[in-house]
A and B are shown apart, each in its own frame.
Chain A
Amino acid sequence: MADLSLRRVDKTFGDVEVIKGVDLDIASGEFVVFVGPSGCGKSTLLRLVAGLEDITAGELWIGGQLVNDEPPSRRGIAMVFQSYALYPHMTVWQNMSFGLKLQGMTRAQRDEKVKEAARILQIDHLLDRKPRQLSGGQRQRVAIGRAIVRQPRVFLFDEPLSNLDAALRVQTRIEIAKLHRAMQATMIYVTHDQVEAMTLADKIVVLNAGRVEQVGSPMDLYHRPANKFVAAFIGSPTMNFLPVEFAGSDGATLDLRLASGAIVQIAAPKGRLRGHRFTLGLRPEHLHVLSDAAPLRGEAAAVENLGGESYLYVDIGQPMPLVVKAPGDCAIRAGEPVGIGLPASKGAYLFDQQDRAVASA
């Protein structure tokens, strides 16, 4: 267990700057998720922490020790790769014990460690198999087991679930969370899947184009996104964005004019409003279908009924249809008119011209 600090970390490949001045503190025992779209630099950042890439500028501290120039093996880390990185010609036992041999352990000691980790991960019956004889999920467990036996100070996961099918992904996700609780280890986890980030993280780091957009707890990011990018990235389906103009305020409420000319009213935000033009952000789950006196009206362009819930794609004369979450028994069909109710107090987000969030109510 160790804490980590990144101080103005830069990484350039040739002329391309992939990581731009990242500052980040990770407490001992914390589960941190790096999330962002592909190409945002999240994997590179993890590889900088691992020592698989050199840091161009800035400092990396692990457990109070500056490790910029330490090789990966001296950083006290273990990494689980997206592709598992198992040695194809070795058995599971050999795979898990290969790294231990060099720490000067006897065969009996190694065997004990491997069996212990295998028991935790329920792969003790697979120790004599080769990786190709295992399913994807089993390989993933072996890769995690190999990380556990090293007893690292920091666990690094590089998109560990992206090669698994959906059902297995959910199951393994829960097991990783369990493992973190049991081991109380510092873990850094990279994913492009915001659901994994939301369910696993103590702290989410949203990255975009090599910069940290926002750091915070999952609920923080959901309720108080710092900008439009984070707002769009966290939450599924993604937030609806509508260009609006300031139309008046009475202190408690705020009137906004849509491009169509319609006026919508939301709770007045706490932050000061600068300028006249804004982007209104509305999460699908905060909108509801209203039969009469609806502030927004449109026509259902498409309806996705998932059984437990439905998603309506409502054309309100904007370039993108408005996504509205409705109950599973919603009877609206495509082509029918829909009235949409806005959230009464919370759940409306306002972003200024620079896409920064205006502190909401």
Chain B
Amino acid sequence: MAARANAGSALTRQRLKSAWLFLTPMLVVLALVAGWPLLRTISFSFTDAHLSNLDDSSFIGFENYVFLLQDPDWWRAVQNTIFFTVVSVSIETVLGLLIALALNAHFKGRGLLRAAVLIPWAIPTVVSAQMWRWMFNDVYGVINEIMLSTGLITEPWAWLADPQLSMAAVIAVDVWKTTPFMALLILAGLQMLPQDCYENAKIDGVHPVVVFFKVTLPLLKPAILVAVIFRTLDALRIFDLIYVMQGNKQDTMSMSIYARQQLVDFQDVGYGSAAATLLFMIIALFTVIYLYLGGIGREEKA
């Protein structure tokens, strides 16, 4: 508002001009690599386009969406994705918070450890997923070997074939992979906390556990919220990890894998695009809810 009121001044106009100048390259790139494919996908979702002949397609309205909403496989994928998201993000948040608190303490070699913690996150997902697939192998896998030799289990578990175990395995690998990222985001928040508050609590003799729940956690809430939203949006479109470990198996199929299967394997570009569009809508909805909640938070602060 203030900027608009001052828009008459030459200096403000100059600033606006340079702001647009700096923004333009990014806006152009975004429009090309994100905007255009998104619009194409949305427009395909209203057609009966086939992968072998994209140009020869006709408009069929909401027919794809009607089929999609009646397909139990789609709902299975939605259910899988939401289950995966809720469980993995919850575990990652708690573990990430614990690791962040540990990394925030003062000890020798802290810098090295902070860097080392990031390794699972830095390994390309395809590589680490393949690595874990071998480790989870029911016959040759190291996981079964360890659990058998320590007596935790008496016969090998079929980690990747059993419907319940395969989801657990996928979640475990995701937790292993993304907890460091979560820890780092929360650690950044921890380092912003006012140190003198803690010294005052020390003088007051407040028990460290009380300090954590009454001081640290409330102050850390914004940082944790941002980290959770980031991870949630990311987890909702999970593809590579599950696809490498499980392929198109129904027990672990996510919305992204469903869309890819329709689009590529079944060559049904129209129907697959409808699934992709719906996935986009769900993520967009989450983002809007987040922005809305964030906006309320800011108002309260003012």
Query: Chain A: residues with CB nearer than 8 A to chain B?
Result: 50-52, 71-74, 77-79, 81, 83-89, 98-99, 102, 132, 146, 150
A132: which B residues are within 8 A, CB to CB? 301
Identify which of residues 182-240 in chain B touch chain A, using a CB-to-CB cut-off of 8 Å: 194, 196-197, 199-207, 210, 214-215, 218-219
| B204/A85 in contact, CB under 8 A | no
In the assembled complex, how far is the CB of residue A296 from the closest CB belonging to chain B, in whole angstroms?
50
Identity of the chain B residue whose Cβ is nearest the Cβ of A152 in the assembled complex: B203
Identity of the chain B residue whose Cβ is nearest the Cβ of A88 in the assembled complex: B219
| B199/A98 in contact, CB under 8 A | no
| B194/A88 in contact, CB under 8 A | yes
Known interface pairs A87-B215, A88-B219; A99-B204 also in contact (CB < 8 Å) = yes
Known: A51-B202, A73-B203. 11 other contacts (CB 8 A): A71-B202, A71-B205, A72-B202, A79-B203, A81-B200, A83-B194, A85-B194, A85-B199, A87-B197, A88-B197, A99-B201
In Å, the complex CA distance between A78 and B202 comes to 10
| B194/A99 in contact, CB under 8 A | no
| A73/B204 in contact, CB under 8 A | yes
Identify which of residues 133-186 in chain B touch chain A, using a CB-to-CB cut-off of 8 Å: none
| B203/A74 in contact, CB under 8 A | no
| A81/B214 in contact, CB under 8 A | no
Please tell me the size bucket of the interface on B. Answer: 10 to 19
| A73/B194 in contact, CB under 8 A | no
Main secondary structure on chain A at its contact with chain B?
Answer: loop
B205: which A residues are within 8 A, CB to CB? 71-74, 99, 102
In Å, the complex CA distance between A74 and B219 comes to 27
In Å, the complex CA distance between A50 and B210 comes to 21
Identity of the chain A residue whose Cβ is nearest the Cβ of B206 in the assembled complex: A102
| A72/B196 in contact, CB under 8 A | no
> What would be 5 A-B contacts, judged by CB atoms less than 8 Å apart?
A71-B205, A72-B202, A74-B205, A87-B215, A99-B205
In Å, the complex CA distance between A119 and B259 comes to 67
**Number of A-B residue pairs at CB separation under 8 A:** 56
Identity of the chain B residue whose Cβ is nearest the Cβ of A132 in the assembled complex: B301
In the assembled complex, how far is the CB of residue B199 from the closest CB belonging to chain A, in whole angstroms?
5
Identity of the chain B residue whose Cβ is nearest the Cβ of A75 in the assembled complex: B203
In Å, the complex CA distance between A267 and B96 comes to 74
A79: which B residues are within 8 A, CB to CB? 199-200, 203
A81: which B residues are within 8 A, CB to CB? 196, 199-200
| B194/A102 in contact, CB under 8 A | no
Identify which of residues 8-45 in chain B touch chain A, using a CB-to-CB cut-off of 8 Å: none
A89: which B residues are within 8 A, CB to CB? 218-219
B214: which A residues are within 8 A, CB to CB? 98
A86: which B residues are within 8 A, CB to CB? 197
A72: which B residues are within 8 A, CB to CB? 202-203, 205
In Å, the complex CA distance between A150 and B219 comes to 24
Closest 8 CB pairs of A and B: A73-B205, A99-B204, A85-B196, A85-B200, A72-B203, A89-B218, A81-B196, A72-B202
B200: which A residues are within 8 A, CB to CB? 79, 81, 85, 146
| A150/B197 in contact, CB under 8 A | no
Identity of the chain B residue whose Cβ is nearest the Cβ of A47 in the assembled complex: B199
B207: which A residues are within 8 A, CB to CB? 102
In Å, the complex CA distance between A309 and B111 comes to 57
In Å, the complex CA distance between A52 and B214 comes to 21
In Å, the complex CA distance between A320 and B119 comes to 60
Identity of the chain A residue whose Cβ is nearest the Cβ of B214 in the assembled complex: A98
Identity of the chain A residue whose Cβ is nearest the Cβ of B193 in the assembled complex: A88
B201: which A residues are within 8 A, CB to CB? 99
In the assembled complex, how far is the CB of residue A140 from the closest CB belonging to chain B, in whole angstroms?
13
B199: which A residues are within 8 A, CB to CB? 52, 79, 81, 85
In the assembled complex, how far is the CB of residue B91 from the closest CB belonging to chain A, in whole angstroms?
27
Identity of the chain B residue whose Cβ is nearest the Cβ of A83 in the assembled complex: B196
In Å, the complex CA distance between A79 and B203 comes to 8
> Most chain-A Cβ atoms within 10 A of its Cβ — which of B202, B218, B219?
B202
Identify which of residues 229-276 in chain B touch chain A, using a CB-to-CB cut-off of 8 Å: none
In Å, the complex CA distance between A99 and B207 comes to 10
> Most chain-B Cβ atoms within 10 A of its Cβ — which of A87, A146, A150?
A87
A102: which B residues are within 8 A, CB to CB? 204-207, 210
Identity of the chain B residue whose Cβ is nearest the Cβ of A72 in the assembled complex: B203
